[in-house]
Structure 1
Amino acid sequence: MASSSNRLLHFAGVMVRLAIPCAILAAGWFGFQWLADKIERPPQPTARKVALRSRVEEMKTVDYPVIVKTHAVVQPHNQVTLTSQVSGAVVKVSPAFEVGAYFSQGDVLVEIDPRDYETALAIAKSELDSRISELKLAKLVEERKLRLVQSNAVSQGEVESASASREQAEANVALAETSVEQAELNLSRTKIVAPFDGRVMTKLIGLGQMAGSNSPLGDVFAIDYVEVRLPISGDQRKYLHLPEFTDDAPLSVKLRDAIHASGDTIWQGKIVRTEGVLDQDSRDVFAIARVDNPFGRRTGMPPLRIGQPVIAAVEGKVLEKVIALPRGAVRELDQIVLVNQSDLTLLPMKIEALWSDETNVIVPAAAIPESTWLATTPMTFTPKGAKIEIIPPADTPMTVADSAAAENDKSAAN
């Protein structure tokens, strides 16, 4: 009896322990159901098809003149370092021998103390006078010996000795004359004379400074014209007729300041020759352009200074029967998108350019299908045959594209 009661009590305890968590779970489930309301979601809108839209441009067959542009730096055609051929103290420096100053051919730019060389010239002239006197005496002696030898008053040996003395005196006179010439030359070298019309680039000497033989005094350059060494690539060369020989016609070139490219100043030049060696790194050939009167002293043009970077434009061959595509309409260098005029569908295609510059890409007219426009609006997805909506230009009320769209609307209505 007691055993049966214990089992009942144990079973009742187990049931109570199980009932508590079940009641908690049930209460939680009913609470969740009571608190949770169904979220009412608005109906999804119907997906609307977005039409491709682009502006278009008509393409015309033209003859396109190639303009080759390249960058270079202005350099002098004749730059020399003035040196002293004699030594001495600098006693005079011309105002024209200052950095940036102009000078004319024959101007004395620097003068070295001439007194030592004047003294040397005076000594050489005195030596010459002495040698001339010795020659006169030797001639008189020779003439007297020749008269006496006829009467057998002197021997033939004495005559020959007198002739030899006269010849030695003549040689001494010639040597003295050479010494005088050298002394005069050294004296003239005390004045450093401008070899051409030019400008001073650097000045390395000053008043009172000692100048040694072969000492550099400064750098000067000629101003009659300057040269510009233009690099021409292999792709550019085939569109230019560059002069190779001295009798070839020069090629016109226009130069602009590369620092202020927006300026209106244009210097006119001409390509007069090309170098015979390709650049080892770039394989470019260098064409030498000449610009006369670069500093505008006679023309009033702004100066074209040495070391100034410039942009050169050279007119080359004319490409016939081509189409000039705006560079902005060409993607990935060789991809364009056309629009069929009949059904306004896309026609993407790859092109091979004959020439390109900063504004246009030139292709043969035969490579572009007829009855097409050029799509000029960037589009990320351009499937072939896709319909497109033409964006009319903002500045014209009616365009070719609008007219085509109207015609398509009429056809659809019929």
Structure 2
Amino acid sequence: MSKLSSILGLVLKTLISLCLVGGGFAAILLLGEAKTESDQPPHENIRLVEVQSAESHQSGITFEVDGVVVPYREIQLAAEVAGRVTEKSDQLRIGRVVSAGKPLVLLDRRDYELELERLQEDLDEAVGNIEEMDVQIASTLGQIELAEQNLTIQTRSADRIRSLVSRNATTEASLDEALRAELTAKTSLQSQRDQLNLQRASKSRLENVRDRFKSEIAMAQLKLSRTTITSPIDGVVVEDNVEQDSYVQQGTAICAIRDTSKLEIKCSLQAHQMKWLWESSNGSTEQKQLGAYELPETPVTVRYQIGNETYLWDGKLSRYDGGEIDPQTRMIPCRVQVENPLQVRRISEDGKVDLVADVPTLMVGMYVQVDVHVTPRAPLVAVPISAVYPGNRLWVIDGDVLRRRQVSVAMTEGSNALVYAGPGRLEPGESVVVSPLAAPFDGAKVEVKQ
């Protein structure tokens, strides 16, 4: 019985195997005989399509990047002279607004005023000494003039006596006396001239002393002026380090003031966006040769949204922020400069734009959106986004057939895609298919829906 069961099991397995093999062969035969459907529909199958003309895009590209507001500059004020704080302005508090030229701290002036008074007295004495020397020089010049006249007289007298001696009309003793008188006159003249040279040298020394006192007075006046510490810029106080009646040394930090006349925005651009900047006609690359680390100044619009309202500021993309690529994001840091943070426009809920003056200006630390406006030199055409298929392909109508075009999309703007135009790509005015296509192929017959 056991042997019979084994035989029946073996037969059953064989039959099942034969059935599976036979089924496989049957399937192969059926598949081989089945018609393979063509990927391409028959040419006589005319498709009804909707088209739209590709329009030339002349208004440039506006792309958005995120940014954060940073200070344009911060001024660290320090005491330039030592002294006790006799007065401190109420505006010198963190968060207060100060104006350029406004006194913030007054230091004790008495020591500097006394020093200036002493130097002024020394200067007056030096000037008096010079005037006295001028009188002496004038007197010496008069003495020299008299000595020259006396020498002339003595020389003529000696000449006459020499003439008489030659005629034996007088004695040799008379001639010696005349020559002695002439020599005395010469000695007196030379002595006066030496005195004049000495007086002039003394005057030069006194003038040097006078000039030194003038320089010291100028320094004393400068130190006296530095006892009044003023704000060099319009700004906001961000550090306050002194109090009234405290003593400060030269170089002691007084405060830090953040400039509010301008602000900057840190942002980062991708490589293709930087390429748009370099190709942009908004920049100055056509007017002057830019350096390796210079950017063409490009206009931007800064946006900040509060509730349902958006506030706008005008600015310009001015420079790189460090001249290197961020190693984490692989983006290029740049700086946007806002020349007038107080000039702000508001877009209301209904889309109306107007100037406003009742809202805070840009503040450091704000996260904003920056719209960069560029106009690439490469021509662009606008097509509906629905016309662009995966892989940056689109279909155009050439007569009554479809033609595939491989395009490069610059960016999307609203419901349109901006693509680079040119031979072999897409030309302005070409008819682009905007209706859905099932299994399209190059050369398919089409009919434009009217």
When normalised by structure 1's length, the TM-score is: 0.62
Q: 1:311 aligns with which of 344, 369, 381?
A: 369
Question: Partner of 2:137 in structure 1?
Answer: 142
**Structure 2 match to 1:323:** 383
2:173 corresponds in structure 1 to none
Secondary structure at the residue paired with 2:239? strand
Alignment of 1:199-348 (within 5 A): 199-240=236-277, 241=280, 243-244=283-284, 251-257=298-304, 263-271=308-316, 273-275=318-320, 278-281=323-326, 282=330, 284=332, 286-294=334-342, 299-317=357-375, 320-325=380-385
* Contact 1:254–1:266, Cα closer than 8 Å, also in 2: no
Describe the superposition over 1:24-79 as per-residue Cα deviations: whole angstroms up to 9, x where unpaired: xxxxxxxxxxxxxxxxxxxxxxxxxxxxxxxxxx8855666632111222233332
SS of 2:100's partner is coil
Tell me by how many angstroms 1:81 deviates.
1.0
Superposition CA RMSD, Å: 4.1
Following superposition, the deviation at residue 309 of structure 1 comes to 2.1
Gap runs ≥5 in structure 2: 1-49, 148-187, 289-295, 345-354, 396-404, 441-448
Letter matched to residue 325 of structure 2: Q
Q: Which of 75, 81, 100 in structure 1 is aligned with 2:76? A: 81
Q: Which residue of 1 aligns with 2:108?
A: 113
Provide the C-alpha distance between the structure 2 equivalents of 1:217 and 1:134, rounded to a whole number of angstroms: 44
Task: Using CA pairs under 8 Å that are at least 6 residues apart, name the structure with larger relative contact order, 1 or 2.
Answer: 2
- Cα deviation digits, residues 64-102 of structure 1 (max 9, x gap): 663211122223333211121111111111122222222
Output the CA distance in 1 between the equivalents of 2:284 and 2:320: 8
Offset, 1:320: 4.1
Q: CA deviation at 1:119?
A: 1.1
Look up the equivalent residue of 1:310 and give its one-letter code.
V
Which blocks of at least 5 consecutive residues in structure 1 are unaligned?
Answer: 1-57, 339-348, 376-382, 386-403, 405-414
Kindly report which structure 2 residues correspond to 1:362-381, keeping only aligned pairs within 5 A, or say none.
Answer: 373-374=435-436
SS of 1:252's equivalent in the other structure is strand
Change (3 A) 1:320 1:280: closer
Residue 73 of structure 1 aligns to a residue in which SS?
Answer: strand
The residue identity in structure 1 corresponding to 2:199 is A
What is the DSSP-based 3-state SS (H/G/I as helix, E as strand, rest coil) of the residue aligned with 1:265? strand
Aligned runs of 1:16-165 on 2, under 5 Å? 61=54, 66-150=61-145, 151=147, 152=188, 154-165=191-202
Aligned 8 A contact 2:300 2:317 in 1: no
Instruction: Percent identity, please.
Output: 17
Provide the secondary structure at the position in 2 that maps to 1:126.
Answer: helix
**Alpha-carbon distance between aligned partners in 2 of 1:245 and 1:309, rounded to the nearest angstrom:** 31
Contact 2:382 2:417 in 1 (8 A): no
Given that residues 252 and 315 in structure 1 are in contact (C-alpha distance below 8 angstroms), is that contact kept between their aligned partners in structure 2? yes
Report if the CA contact (8 A) 2:106-2:229 is conserved. yes
| 1:115-152 deviation digits (Å, cap 9, x = unpaired) | 11111111111111121222222222222222223323
Shift in Å, 1:369? 10
Contact 1:59 1:323 in 2 (8 A): no
Quote the offset at 1:218 in angstroms.
Answer: 1.4
Question: Per-residue CA shift, 1:263-289, capped at 9, x if unaligned?
Answer: 523222131633497423336262533
Secondary structure in structure 2 of the residue aligned to 1:208: coil
1:391 paired residue number: none
Equivalent residue, structure 2, for 1:49? none
Equivalent position SS for 2:201: helix
Structure-2 separation of matches of 1:62 and 1:222: 46
After alignment, is 227-236 or 129-138 more displaced? Answer: 227-236
Contact kept? 2:381, 2:418, Cα under 8 Å: no
Task: Summarize the Cα distance change of 1:351–1:156 in structure 2 as closer, same or farther, 3 Å threshold.
Answer: closer
Q: Distance in 1 between matches of 2:317 and 2:431?
A: 43
Shift of 1:363: 5.5
1:124 alignment partner AA:
L
C-alpha contact 1:325 1:363 (8 A) present in aligned 2:
no
Q: 2:229 aligns with which of 170, 192, 202?
A: 192
- Counterpart CA distance in 2 for 1:317 and 1:94 is 51
| TM-score of the two chains, using structure 2 as the length reference | 0.57
Aligned length: 309
Please identify, of 113-122 and 157-166, the stretch whose mean Cα deviation from structure 2 is larger.
157-166
1:170 corresponds to: 207
1:354 aligns with 2:410: yes
